[in-house]
Amino acid sequence: MAWLEALLDRKRLVLTLAFLISVTGLFAWMTMTRQEDPRMPHYWGQAVAVFPGADAEMVERLVLEPVEDALAEVEDVKTVESTAYAETAVIQIDLDESVDDTDEAWSDVRQALAAAHREFPAGVGLPVLNDKLSSDHDAVVLALTGSPDPLELLAAARTLRKGLLDVGDVARVRIIGDPGEQVTIELDDAAARRTGLSAGALAAQLGQRTRILAGGTLSLGDRTVRLRPLSELESVEEIAASPIRLPSGATVPLAELARVRIGPREPAGERMRFNGEIAVGLGIVAKEKVNAVRFGDAVRARIDALAPEVAPIDVQTVAFQPQRVASRLAQLNESLLFGILIVAGVVILAMGLRLGMVVASVVPLVAFAGLAVFAIGGGVLHQISIAAVVLALGMLVDNAIVVAENVQWRLDRGASPRAASLAAVKELAVPLAAATGTTVAAFLPMLLSQSGTADFTRSIPVVVIITLTMSYVFAVTVTPILARMTLRPGSSRATALTARAGGLLSRLAVGRTRWVIAAAVVLVVGSGAAAGLVRQQFFPGADRNQFVIDLELPEGAHLDATD
């Protein structure tokens, strides 16, 4: 190990490199992409097909059955769950969680849906597939209130939507509770009887007038000018002034025969209320792999800038995930800081000040160095990756403890600091590599497993393996150098508490060997027997101060009844 000996003699170089990579990790900690949860692969999708005029039985027989037959031939599809409603077919599609390329799998699904569409009756639309259900959720939900007129709320929502789409990290903005717009023409019964004009004849005339017609072109010198006939009615006033030809041949404005008004679409398809008030909402979807905190700041600033343009409409926040992300990560950051302090306090208490400080100083260096490697590899900070760093704190300190204690043991027996550090590394490099490798191997099944759960927790083995590897590198390079510079013979004197506790435990272990072994066996067997009594749960229940109530009325219930 001549190269390792030469490396340990270059103290400034090693410490500078260790400091730089740790500072890089600290900088990455402050600037990395932040999310609440890991992004899941797109294993789940939903397809919707519309069959106007059909009841649920016809939808099932003529739409769902061909779709199910076509999807059965797609190898990567795991399950298909279909529901037939009046005029609508909804198909939930789950891919096999072992699929590596979900984009290719969804392409096969689209081809299958297109093949099924060729068997549909006339009038059934091509099924619309949404294959981004795992990521296509609203990061921010706004409610616009302050007016009893839904169209005024809709106009404000459209203004906000247009402005929010200019924010770089916004992928999509959808209108929630969209009342729609509809021009209603109410034919006066008395006028219809007097003139002999029927509602059907009136509708036919207006339909002819609003068609988009080709107007041809004119050649003017070297240019061609396209003519556009003025056949499009652009306002309620223009519609009301439209000339209507009566059966007698006379022509009168539409306003003399009917009342023309613009209002919400009837019948309504959806409605929204916020705190009991009529509202129109906006759901803002963020792009994938976006920093949720910065995204929230940009959206908030844009909303504040647009608020005067929609006044007096009130813009209120229904849900703001970036704020929850910031709060959650702040709590985990505190947990990481406290974890480092607790580990440092324990080693100083148990090993003495000098020896404890050598070991404790390596903990943040290794933690941030591991974060640097994780960030360079495209890692994202979320509650799983930060929890993995906290988990690794208790393991990364072991290598440093062994090396520092070995250096101290040699110093206490008269070796020079240089000789003690070199001898410790030569003795421990291979055993520590084996010990670290076995711990890394324990996390490999978690790293290599394929399932939705594995994808969600993938960062745990990644972060732990990176951190343990960095702890070994630092143990054979940085720790012996710090020990050489800091430790002195006798600096491992234990505190009175640890000396008393250690003496008591050692006397118990040596004097009552059989009892100690028997107790250990009983504890192991008892723990194994009681393991089945432990309730199994992937994650603790959500602790958010919100909940959702789904209220479903019988199929066919009117929207007014639900409202």
Q: CB neighbours (10 Å) of residue 44?
A: 19
Res 555: pLDDT = 74
- Are the C-beta atoms of 86 and 55 separated by less than 8 Å? yes
SS3 content of the chain, % helix, strand, coil (to 5): 55, 15, 30
pLDDT digits (tens, 9 = 90+) for 81-102: 999 888 889 999 998 887 877 8
| Contacts for 338 with CB less than 8 Å, ≥ 6 apart | none
Cα–Cα dist 464/391, whole Å: 8
- pTM, two decimal places: 0.73
Residue by residue, pLDDT tens for the chain (563 residues) are: 666 677 777 888 888 898 999 999 988 888 888 887 787 778 888 999 998 888 888 888 899 999 999 998 888 888 999 998 888 899 999 988 878 778 888 899 999 999 999 888 888 888 988 887 766 788 899 999 988 888 899 999 999 999 999 888 888 899 998 888 888 888 888 877 787 878 888 778 777 766 555 656 777 777 777 766 555 666 777 777 778 888 877 788 878 788 888 888 877 778 999 999 999 999 998 887 788 888 889 999 999 999 888 888 999 999 898 888 888 778 777 887 888 888 888 888 777 788 888 888 888 899 899 999 998 888 888 888 888 888 888 888 888 888 888 888 888 888 888 888 888 888 888 999 999 999 999 999 888 887 777 888 888 999 999 999 999 999 988 989 888 888 888 766 555 556 677 778 888 888 888 888 999 999 999 998 888 888 877 666 666 777 889 988 887 788 888 88
- Are the C-beta atoms of 97 and 43 separated by less than 8 Å? yes
Which residue matches tokens 């070994």?
A: 472
Cα–Cα dist 510/201, whole Å: 107
Cα–Cα dist 523/276, whole Å: 58
Please name which of 367, 300, 313, 373 lies closest in space to residue 140, comparing C-alpha atoms. 300
Q: Name residue 516's amino acid.
A: V
Cα–Cα dist 286/1, whole Å: 52
